Chain A
Amino acid sequence: MPETPDENRKGNQRALIGAGIAAATLGAAFVWGRKARQSEDSEPISDAPPHVLRGAARDEAEGDESLVGRTVMIGKPRQDIYEAWRDFTRFPSFMDNVKAVEDLGGGSSRWTIAGPAGKDVELVTNLVEDDPGRKIAWRSEPESEIDTSGILELTDAPSGRGTYVRLLMSYDSPGGAIGRGVAKLLQREPTLQARRDLRRFKQLMETGEVTTNASPSARKSESPTEARV
């Protein structure tokens, strides 16, 4: 639609006002940012785990790896949860991208992880900490295509509510195109992955089954025995 000169002038005025507001906002953000950075060197004061810190506080707390974490409450004693998790061969029953885990003995296990374009990636992980009923930590061997590590921490929830189960995971890819691809895939939404895996683990522990919405629909591509997303 052709604009009259009058409308044009109004448009220009509006644009100027808009630019003014934007500049003022940027200025405020700059001042705010400087203020925030002044406290950068101090230790975070919040009573919260490192994976929920943000901004400068997070930079302070975090090492080189990107760390994701998630805590759920599971209505079972710490020891039961420890024992269930300690058997890594059960991971495929609740971890989305872990296809198989083989126990190699001595705290080592071989994991098959679903990679991009249908390619699987294998890696060997070793237990690095095993505190029965409290903590399990594992890390992939240095020459693995992807570098993954995880920590499961268990603490008593108050008054018979069971256990606070915290899963901390990190993924990194020291080398190799496939490794990078997998890490990227896992990292795209690693928090989401941790969230879903832990949710399934909780279902399994509390109800004895992994909840599924498998049921019929009028969508031809779906089977009534497969979960629908």
Chain B
Amino acid sequence: MRAVTWHGRHDVRVDSVPDPEIVNPRDAIIRITSTAICGSDLHLYDGYIPGMRAGDILGHENMGEVVEVGPKSPLKKGQKVVIPFTVSCGDCFFCKKQQFSACDNSNPAETADASEIMMGHSMGGALGYAHLTGGYAGGQAEYLRVPYSDVGPVVIPDGVEDDQVLFLSDILPTGWQAAENAEIEDGDTVAIWGCGPVGLFAIQSAFILGAHRVIAIDHYPSRLALAKQMGAEILDYREVDVRAALNEMTGGIGPDAVIDCVGMESHGLAIDNIVDTVKAHAFLGTERPHALRQAILSCRKGGRVSIPGVYGGFADKFPLGQMMEKGLTIRQGQTHVQKYSDQLLQMIVDGKIDTTFLISHHASLENAPQMYRHWHDDQNEYTKIVLKPGLSKGDVQTLKTFEEELA
């Protein structure tokens, strides 16, 4: 089959590789119909995530049609399914507590070991995301092996389009969990850093969960326009002092909850960020937590800090004292995708949540290297890219242009 493979920093190719096979009784194989490029794929693309090997297949936002099942998979051939990026066994202590991304069994013994050394405890398994989380092949390919297929896959009812439900795999529940972790109360103002796909879903989720106001921070006009479309007030950090603005907009107390939807590759020319960038490139540190620092300093006393943004290691100049003195509550983590699947699918079907407004491009699998470049370099124009193995080489469809919003 054809698959999108990682070969090193800024080196993504499309290779011919063997088809996946059923290995364990609970496995299933799906034929991929849609697979998105995620913001966290950029961390792999930029070489910030340890434990990638040349030749690994990328892709953790996947959906498709069931084509083969192991003897203990409840799935049926022909079903349309969305696959959570988290691999979860459903049987361990953590899965039973619905902490699916902390699954104790889904990371194979060998790879779990490395993550245990790094993190203190082994991480759960994830599709297409480095060997620390299991070294599973991803789904930016024609076919995908889905381990523990009785726990993850969400069976999609007839008549629902791929684009409507694809993001149940990762970014929709991630935005939702981020808002849930912000423990929103009546009258709350929620500030959200980063208007990428997760940030945009966090905005919608925060409103559904009762936020009075949402203030979104970014520097890409198109992404800020999408945030505004979702009902947020917006701040372009290139033109305002974000902390001063947030204080002024909240009567001086600051936002009640802050959400960092940026993660380890914060943009901007603040001095701490420049220092962090240099360090990260010299492998003296893995994090560039500029947005998170600003979020913590902005948050009101006794407020909540929710961190869906991806971090992988140690950070310098972390405002620990500020967190303590202001009495902040911190909640974060990889998304417990399976916990939210049914609830969010229902909201999509009922039209309560808009999942397609952010998709800017469809492209064939063969065009993936070009799409990764755009996703990296042209973040204003490329707000979400969905690869469709069914499209033929060279087929790139622009679904959205941002001239109107920019005017």
Q: Do A and B come from one complex?
A: yes
* Chain A positions near chain B (C-beta within 8 angstroms): 73, 75, 161-162, 192, 195-197, 199-200, 202-203, 206-219, 222-225, 227-229
Contact B25 A208 (CB under 8 A): yes
Question: Given A195-B113, A199-B112, A212-B23, are A224 and B18 neighbors across the interface (CB < 8 Å)?
Answer: yes
| CB atoms of A214 and B109 under 8 A apart | no
Complex contact B24–A212 (CB within 8 A): yes
Contact yes or no, A227 B20, CB < 8 A: no
CB pairs A–B below 8 angstroms (11 shown): A207-B90, A211-B106, A214-B23, A214-B145, A217-B56, A218-B5, A219-B55, A223-B18, A224-B20, A224-B21, A228-B135
Shortest C-beta distance, B108 to chain A (Å), equals 5
Stretch at the interface among B91-99, B174-182, B185-193, B350-358: B91-99
Bound Cα distance A203, B25 (Å): 13
- Taking a contact as CB atoms closer than 8 A, the residue among B93, B134, B137 that contacts A161 in the complex is B93
Interface residues of B in 132-186 (CB under 8 A from A): 134-137, 141, 145, 147-148
Pick the 8 closest A-B CB pairs, nearest first: A215-B137, A218-B55, A219-B55, A196-B109, A218-B15, A199-B109, A218-B5, A206-B91
Identify which of A197, A212, A215 gathers the most chain B CB atoms within 10 Å of its CB. Answer: A215
Contact residues of B: prevailing secondary structure: loop
B24 / chain A contacts, CB cutoff of 8 Å: 209-212
Which of chain A's residues have a CB closer than 8 A to the CB of B107?
211
Contact B110 A227 (CB under 8 A): yes
- Tell whether, in the assembled complex, residue B109 and residue A200 are in contact, meaning their CB atoms are under 8 Å apart: yes
Contacts A214-B23, A223-B18, A229-B111 given; does A75 touch B54 at CB 8 Å = no
Interface set, chain B 5-26, CB cutoff 8 A to A:
5, 7, 13, 15, 17-21, 23-26
Interface residues as binary, B99-123 with A (CB distance below 8 Å gives 1, 0 otherwise) = 0000011111111110010000010
Interface: B1 (CB within 8 A): yes
Residues of chain A with a CB closer than 8 A to B18's CB? 216, 223-224
> Is residue B125 contacting chain A, with contact meaning CB distance below 8 A?
yes
Question: Do the beta carbons of B17 and A211 come within 8 Å of each other?
Answer: no
Chain B: residues with Cβ within 8 Å of the partner, total of 49
User: Which B residue's beta carbon lies closest to that of A161?
Assistant: B93
Q: Closest CB of chain A to B387's CB: distance in Å? A: 17
- Is there contact, CB below 8 Å, between A207 and B145? no
Q: Which residues of B contact A213 (CB under 8 A)?
A: 108, 111, 125, 134-137
> Pick the contact of B137 from A75, A203, A217 — CB < 8 Å?
A217
What's the least CB distance linking B254 to chain A, in Å? 40
- Residues of chain B with a CB closer than 8 A to A195's CB: 109, 113, 116
Contacts of B215 in A (CB 8 A): none
**Residues on A with beta carbons closer than 8 Å to the beta carbon of B137:** 213, 215-217, 224
Given pairs A75-B93, A216-B19, 19 additional interface contacts (CB within 8 A): A199-B112, A200-B109, A206-B92, A207-B105, A209-B24, A211-B89, A211-B105, A211-B106, A213-B111, A214-B23, A215-B136, A215-B137, A216-B17, A217-B17, A218-B7, A218-B54, A219-B55, A224-B145, A228-B131
Contact of A192 among B26, B53, B111, B113 (CB under 8 A): B113
Asked if B49 CB lies within 8 Å of chain A CBs, one says no
